[in-house]
Copies of this chain bind each other. A is one copy, B any other.
Amino acid sequence: MIVLFTDFGWQGPYVGQMKAVLAQQAPDQTIIDLIHDAPVFKPHAAAYLLASLVDPFPNNTVFLAVVDPGVGSGERRPCVLQADGRWYVGPDNGLLNVIAKQSAEYKAWVIDWQPESLSDSFHGRDLFAPVAAQLASGQLPEMTETSLAQDPLNWPADLAEVIYLDSFGNAMTGLHASRTRKDAVFMLNGKSIKYARVFAEAEKSEPFWYVNSNGLVEIAMNKANAARKLGLEIGTQLQAV
């Protein structure tokens, strides 16, 4: 199984072109579009989002992860990560760091393999997709073991920031609900946010936090757009009271 995690959006030919490469080079693999609106050009927030989504996937799943503002600049290396039995292919810009941080064990490689033709702006299609296809087919591309550019040890396990805004205005945070007490109250742009189990149990027109379906603390409002009401953006910080 190859799982796509990108900030490309569904518009344009980009997702389709990447899947056309996979379909040709790994025709027997199931391809899952996990998300295509990961935080645009924000690998730091995206790293926490990605790490919250991988648990249900089986061994040997290959994640093709692309949030890559430095594409073509030569400033970041393409890499492969193996963590807890799953594979990850993407830029070494922090995007895979929370996966590494959370894993029982991981190994990282810089990709030496080069395609015949490499565009400056679309490594997702030209480089990462062929490598993902190789890994999914049980082949190892040319690559050299390495350390990640940023040491995952220096990354916090929980990030008290908004990491994703969904189309309903709900705001995911990088805080794990399993490490957050239900009586925790957060301040967000001057507004205090208490826990509610489900939307229906929240007070009308009051923002609340709940345990989202991926185990993260998520800020929401019942039948209203919390992000707009509270002025939230990716990166907005939560203060615990």
Q: Which residues of A contact B (CB under 8 A)?
A: 1, 3, 9-13, 15-17, 19-21, 23-24, 27, 30, 32-37, 41, 53, 56-58, 70-73, 75, 119-122, 125-126, 164, 166-167, 197-201, 210-214, 223
Contact B213 A119 (CB under 8 A): yes
User: Contact at B32–A16, with CB atoms within 8 Å?
Assistant: yes
How far, in whole Å, are A198 and B125 apart by their CA atoms in the complex? 17
Q: How many copies does the complex hold?
A: 3
Whether the pair A17, B53 counts as a contact (CB closer than 8 A) is: yes
Q: How many angstroms between the C-alpha atoms of A119 and B24 in the bound complex? A: 34
Question: Secondary structure of the A side of the interface?
Answer: loop
**B16 pairs with A120, CB closer than 8 A:** no
Contact with A37, one of B11, B125, B213, B214 (Cβ below 8 angstroms): B11
A15–B33 CA distance with the chains assembled, in angstroms:
8
Cβ contact of A121, chosen from B3, B126, B213, cutoff 8 A? B213
Chain B residues within an 8 Å CB radius of A201: 73
C-alpha spacing A84/B54, complex, angstroms:
38
- A13 to chain B: which residues have CB within 8 Å? 34-35, 53, 214
Contact A121 B199 (CB under 8 A): yes
